[in-house]
Structure 1
C-alpha cells in the first residue's frame, strides 16, 4: 500500500482543492484555464501502464516514456533521475528513490522517502512524472501527510542527480475512489513538464485500508 495503515477507524484529510482528474490533467498539461462550459473532454497522448500502482488500479495499456541516461532532447539534455523533493509549505524535504514493477504492481517507497515511478517521465521533462508518498504510518504522520491540503500555487522543487532544480507550482488536487482510479489522467505524456503526487485519503477501513487516493497536480514553473 502507499502507506502503513494505522490501527483503528479514521478518515484522512480530504483534498483542499477540488476538480476532476480530467480537468486537472488538461490544465497541467497545457497550462490553460478551463472555460466555465468546459465539459472535461481532452485528447491525451497517454496510456495507462500494464501494472497497477498499488493500491491504485490501472487500466490495460502501456507505460509512458522509458528512462535512459543523458538522452538528448531538443534544446538540451534530458533531466537526470530525481534525487530529492522539497515542499517548503509542507515542511517537507526528503530523498526520492526509484520504484519499479514487482509482482505485477508498482513498488512503493520506504516510509522515510518518496518514490518516483521510473517507468514514466522524469521530473523536469515533458510528461507526467509520478511521485508516491506515505500519508501516515503506525507511529504518526507520513511524509505526504500535508499533501492533500496544499493550495494552488504551492511551490514544489525536485532536485535531480546532477544537481539541477526543477520547480513546479500546484494546479489542484483530486480525491478519487481506488476502485474507479482514472489511470489515463495519471500516466503518460503531456505538452509540458507535469508532476503528480500520489497518496491515500478518504475514510479508513479496517479491512482494505483507505478508500481513496489523493492526486495533486503541479505544472513546471
Structure 2
C-alpha cells in the first residue's frame, strides 16, 4: 500500500485569518488618519513662487500689488456662467456654501514671519480664514479663503470641500451688507511638493476666488500630503 501523501498547509499570507487580520489593521490606520489629520496644518501661502519648493520662499513680485498674487496671471477656467461687475472693497464677514451646509464666520489671516499663510485657530475649527491682504469678496483679483479639514476634535469647516462640483456656489458676505456669489469652475487636488503657485494664486482681471484646505494622505510628522483647491469666479451679487 503506497504511503499517504501529507497535505501541504497554505502559506500564512493566503489564509482567511491573515486576510481578516490585514483588514483590521487597515481599518485602524484609516481611523487614525481621520481623527488626527489637520492639527497645526499650514497652507501654502498665496505669494510663494516656485522657489519655495527648494526651501526658499519668494516674496511678492514688484508688479503684483496689494490686491494680487504672483506677477504671472492664472489661466482662466472655462466658465459657462458669465461674470458680473466687480464690487468695491469691503472686508469679508462670512462664507456660505449651500451644497455643503457651510455657513461660517471669517477671521482675517496674513503671512507669518516665514511667509506662510496663517490658518484659523485649531481650537476653533469652524472658522474660515480670508487672506486679508488680497481682494475682498467680489473685488477684482484672486481672493483666497482657507480652512481646516479636520482637527483632533473631529471634522472641521472644510471636511467635505472636495465634494463640490462645477456650477456649485460659494457665497461671501461683506461688511457693507452685500454678498458676492462665486460659481465653482473646477476642484483640484495638488501634491504639496508640486504645488502650482502661479495657477492657483496668479492675478486675474476679474473677481475670482480660491478656497483651500488640506487633502491627500496624512503623515504624523508632516501633515497632509496635498491641498484641495476650489477655483471659482464671481457671477452674481446680492444686497444693497
Tell me the TM-score normalized by structure 1.
0.69
Distance 1:207 1:7, change over 3 A: farther
The alpha carbon displacement at 1:158 in A equals 0.4
Distance 1:51 1:108, change over 3 A: farther
Q: Tell me if structure 2 keeps the 8 A contact 1:51–1:101.
A: no
For residue 109 of structure 2, the aligned residue among 99, 106, 124 is: 99
What CA deviation, in whole Å up to 9, does each residue of 1:53-112 have, x standing for no partner? xxxx99624164426xxxxxxx88623011100001100000111111222122111223
Measure the CA separation in 1 of the matches of 2:231 and 2:187. Answer: 6
Distance 1:148 1:160, change over 3 A: same
What CA deviation, in whole Å up to 9, does each residue of 1:37-67 have, x standing for no partner? xxxxxxxxxxx62599xxxx99624164426
Stretches of structure 2 that go unaligned for 5 or more consecutive residues are 1-29, 36-45, 68-84, 236-240
Which structure has the highest helix share of the two?
2
Q: Tell me if structure 1 keeps the 8 A contact 2:138–2:234.
A: yes
Distance 1:77 1:123, change over 3 A: closer
Indicate the residue corresponding to 1:38 in structure 2: none
The answer on 1:209 being equivalent to 2:223 is: yes
Indicate the residue corresponding to 2:208 in structure 1: 194
Distance 1:76 1:205, change over 3 A: closer
Indicate the residue corresponding to 1:87 in structure 2: 97
Measure the CA separation in 1 of the matches of 2:201 and 2:56. Answer: 9
Indicate the residue corresponding to 1:145 in structure 2: 159
Say which SS state the counterpart of residue 193 (structure 2) adopts: helix
Q: Larger RCO: Structure 1 or Structure 2 (Cα < 8 Å, ≥ 6 residues apart)?
A: 1
Structure whose alpha-carbon radius of gyration is higher: 2
After TM superposition, the structure 1 = structure 2 runs for residues 147-162 of structure 1, keeping only pairs within 5 Å, are: 147-162=161-176
Measure the CA separation in 1 of the matches of 2:117 and 2:86. Answer: 30
Q: Runs of 4+ in structure 1 displaced over 6 angstroms?
A: none
Stretches of structure 1 that go unaligned for 5 or more consecutive residues are 1-5, 12-47, 68-74
Measure the CA separation in 2 of the matches of 1:194 and 1:213. Answer: 18
For residue 134 of structure 1, the aligned residue among 121, 128, 148 is: 148
For residue 60 of structure 2, the aligned residue among 59, 62, 67 is: 62
Distance 1:118 1:188, change over 3 A: farther
After TM superposition, the structure 1 = structure 2 runs for residues 155-174 of structure 1, keeping only pairs within 5 Å, are: 155-174=169-188
Measure the CA separation in 1 of the matches of 2:87 and 2:230. Answer: 27
Measure the CA separation in 2 of the matches of 1:205 and 1:148. Answer: 19
Say which SS state the counterpart of residue 8 (structure 1) adopts: helix
Q: Tell me if structure 1 keeps the 8 A contact 2:89–2:137.
A: yes
Distance 1:136 1:76, change over 3 A: closer
Which structure has the highest strand share of the two?
1
Q: CA RMSD in A?
A: 2.8
